[in-house]
Structure 1
Amino acid sequence: MSQSDLEHQPVKSGRIELDPEGAEQGLAQLVLTVIELLRQLVERHAIRRVDGGTLTEEEIEKLGVALMNLEVKMDELKDIFELEDEDLNIDLGPLGNLL
């Protein structure tokens, strides 16, 4: 390789070049995945409590409204970051999918 070839190659700094939009998208995907996992866990726990008869009618109503509101907000955030449900299902290799 000649000296002129070396002069026209980009200098490598040893740092990872991150696309700001790509980083935002990846972070949004990770955060929404964690929120979706927690939402599903809370929903399962709520169903167990409802089935177990430990909640009043008022508590069941409030819980239902809260879970519906959270689902609506999740759908809004997925739209904002252009994510689908399958984007939130992280492949954990031999353990299978997260969700």
Structure 2
Amino acid sequence: MYIQRILEAQVRDEFLEKIKAQLVASEVDENWSMHEDRSVSFKGRLCVPRDVELRNEFLADAHKAKYTIHLGNTKMYQDLKRQFWRSGMKRDIAQFVANCQICQQVKVEH
């Protein structure tokens, strides 16, 4: 699933590798943590690396899941931010939803 792919992609992310090095040297604040599997979390939420392909698949899956079915960007962000963190995640979600043709077709004009 995506959790495993996120963990694998964290190893290739330069920013997260720097955070890991700082965590080992105890130079990062208490908001960051590294687990036994060497995954990195921010405020208890798994960090999603800056892998564009993974991010797009992750957002598409979250947006089109059977139990959510095309959420708006606010609800989608609220759901994802419980478990995941990424700098700019709210902006990415807003752009993703804005580019969804199904959402734009059913969007009510005010």
- TM-score, normalized by length of structure 2? 0.26
Higher relative contact order (CA 8 A, sep 6+): 1
Bigger fraction of residues in strand? 2
**Greater gyration radius:** 1
Bigger fraction of residues in helix? 1
